[in-house]
Amino acid sequence: MRLRQKALSGLAAVATGIGLSVVAVPSALGAGNAGYTTFDQTQGGCLDGTNGVNCNNYADKGDVYMDGGPTGGNGLADGDYYFAVLTPGSQNGGFIDGTTGNLSDTTAGGTAGDSGSGDDASNRTFTVAGGLISAYGGTHALGTAPDGKTIIQLAPYDDTDNAGGVYILAICQVGATSPSQCKYDAFRIPAPGTNPPPPPFLTISGEKYYDANANGQLDPGEVGIANWPINYTDSMSGTVLTDSSGTFTVGDLLPDTYSVSETPGTGSWMQTGNTFDQTSVTGAATESLSNFVYTITSTDTASVSGLNFGNVCIGAVGAGLTLGYWGNHVSQIQAGWYATLNALHPVQKSPVGSYITLTKTNISNFLLQATATNMANMLSAQAVTMELNVLSGKTSASALVYAPGTDSANAAGFATIGALLAEAAAQLLAHPNTVAAGPDRTKQEAIKIALDNANNNLNFVEPGPGSCPLPPAA
């Protein structure tokens, strides 16, 4: 029969609550494409809730239906698919009829409970258009999800051999021969007498914090950031907002592999952590951290805490003054400061690669005529300008600035003003002639850019989140 497409109604674009469980395999269908289990709004049978998106526990095998996924580009791509119910651990090949672990086909055996009472994959084939099931010609019952979309009943399928009553829904491209051509969603049917479902298998928690020292880890005294979206993803995205203290907790996750990340901040927000793993794992789970993303795999009851995410925002701190200002206000430079300025080993414009001893009579021309033809000359001018800001009390040598590409920067790209000035002095002493392209010029340019931005009050770490833009929208 041909189904009329139905509009998405009342379904939030971002799932909350219980996460959808998915096997971590590479997917040719795309990371954002997802179908999932749901239930018929009239029949009911979901033990988790009523929104139809996050149902993982069902009262009966006949209560489980499949959905083509959310609309708006996050559901299954347009095309032809079939579904199969598998035993956990059979995702590498069980989606093909006749293989061990396939509970939807007509082949018996292979696992306990598999009696071959299902049907052929052709009877489980359907068409998706715009994230909606648009055509189905088989004999499985049709239903209507709580969001108004047409859904297909998974039954008939045989019993799982999993002691916890867990099944795996596989949604595969027609003709699939590789797991990368399928998407998976776990669901559970508790044994009779265990309704409501057993306690959560996996709980994850952590904190979103302002990394005031930009060191990539949560330190005592660093404050949490409220209302920041934290994403936990498998076959589709779930999001939870941090509470007033910056913490978050997600429970009721089925054993599986999950990625946990934060929504990037906008404007001047910059991600700094975590670069150090501060997690604590209890129970049957493993965890790893890479590029600010946590990957968690659980096989049974477990909890993972310390999933922390640090940010800072950058802007103006203090009242630093520019190269042009100091070049035109030489009278404000105190005589006792020149020894400190000359300790930077300033390089003059001409002759190329030669040093200059700065005095009250030549510092104005030195600053205002500096060029980047010889990068050492322009670095000298910016370093002298910053040293003047420090000596005059406009800027603190301990202030943190964003300085990517410099040796003094930490893993997140931040360095103190004092460290940048020391690095500049060392570079100028070792390499006064950096006209030609090469690693020395590149290094000096990175230091010059960081100091130039700081002299213009652009790249300082703000003292706290109160000086920053609002958190990103969920």
Residues 327, 304 share a domain: no
**202 in helix, strand or coil?**
strand
More confident position, 147 or 27: 147
**CA quadruple 404, 410, 415, 419: dihedral positive or negative?**
negative
pLDDT, mean of residues 17-30: 33
Quote the number of domains for the chain. 3
Q: What is the mean pLDDT of residues 398-405?
A: 96
Structure tokens, 280: 């604590």
In this structure, are 178 and 46 located in the same domain? yes
Residue 464 placed within a domain? no
Asked which of 257, 288, 313 is the last residue of a domain, the reply is 313
User: How much is the average pLDDT of 374-393?
Assistant: 98
Using a 10 angstrom Cβ sphere, with 0-12 exposed, 13-18 middle and 19 or more buried, the burial of residue 331 is exposed
**437: its two tokens:** 């392209």
The CA-atom distances, in angstroms, between 288 and each of 253, 257, 285, 302, 347 are 18, 11, 11, 15, 48
CATH number of residue 234's parent domain:
2.60.40.10
pLDDT value, residue 8: 22
Measured distance CA(151)–CA(62) in Å, rounded:
13
Are residues 165 and 74 part of one domain?
yes
Q: Is residue 8 part of a domain?
A: no
Same domain, 94 and 169: yes
Whether residues 308 and 327 share a domain: the answer is no
Ramachandran sector of residue 22 (left: φ over 0; alpha: ψ -120 to 50; beta: rest): beta
User: In this structure, are 327 and 452 located in the same domain?
Assistant: yes
Instruction: For residue 194, tell me if it sits in a domain.
Output: no
| In a domain? residue 3 | no
Would you say residue 32 has pLDDT above 80?
A: no
Residue 58 lies in a domain: yes
Give the pLDDT band of residue 12 (cuts 50, 70, 90). Answer: very low
Q: What is the pLDDT of residue 200?
A: 57
pLDDT at 347: 98
Mean pLDDT of 15-34: 35
Shared domain for 445 and 398, answered yes or no, is: yes
Nearest to 170 by CA among 46, 248, 87: 87
Q: Which two three-digit tokens encode residue 237?
A: 């995205």
Residues 257 and 369 in one domain: no
Considering the domain architecture, whether residues 184 and 61 belong to the same structural domain is answered as: yes
Looking at residues 402-421, what average pLDDT do you find?
A: 96
- The answer to whether residues 208 and 262 touch, using CB atoms and an 8 Å cutoff, is yes
246, 278, 313 — which closes off a domain? 313
Q: What is the pLDDT of residue 297?
A: 87
Spatial contact of 277 and 93, defined as CB atoms under 8 Å apart: no
Domain that holds residue 452: 323-457
At residue 191, the pLDDT reads 76
The pLDDT value given to residue 198: 58
Q: What does the pLDDT read at residue 25?
A: 30
Residue 253: predicted pLDDT: 81
Asked if 286 and 327 sit in the same domain, the reply is no
DSSP assignment letter at 412: T
Mean pLDDT (whole number) for 424-438: 98
Note the pLDDT of residue 66. Answer: 92
Question: What percent of the chain stands above pLDDT 90?
Answer: 70
* Same domain as 206, residue 179: no
Q: What is the pLDDT of residues 94-113, one digit of tens each?
A: 999 999 999 999 999 889 99
Q: What is the mean pLDDT of residues 239-259?
A: 88
pLDDT band at 47 (very low <50, low <70, confident <90, very high): confident
The Cα–Cα gap between 462 and 470 comes to: 14
Residue 463 lies in a domain: no
Q: With respect to residue 215, please indicate whether it lies within any of the assigned structural domains.
A: yes
Q: Which band of pLDDT confidence, cut at 50, 70 and 90, is reported for residue 16?
A: very low
Residues 123 and 183: their CA atoms lie apart, in Å, by: 19
* Mean pLDDT lowest among 13-27, 173-187, 292-306: 13-27
Confidence band, pLDDT 50/70/90 cuts, at residue 54: low
Last residue of a domain, one of 150, 166, 188: 188
Instruction: Provide the mean pLDDT of the chain.
Output: 87
The answer to whether position 11 is within a domain reads no
Q: Is the pLDDT of residue 20 over 80?
A: no
Same-domain check for residues 41 and 182: yes
pLDDT of residue 5: 24
pLDDT surpassing 90 at residue 460: yes
Q: Please give the pLDDT value at position 7.
A: 23
Report whether pLDDT(13) > 70: no
What's the whole-number mean pLDDT along residues 204-218? 97
pLDDT of residue 36: 82
pTM confidence score: 0.65
pLDDT of residue 42: 94
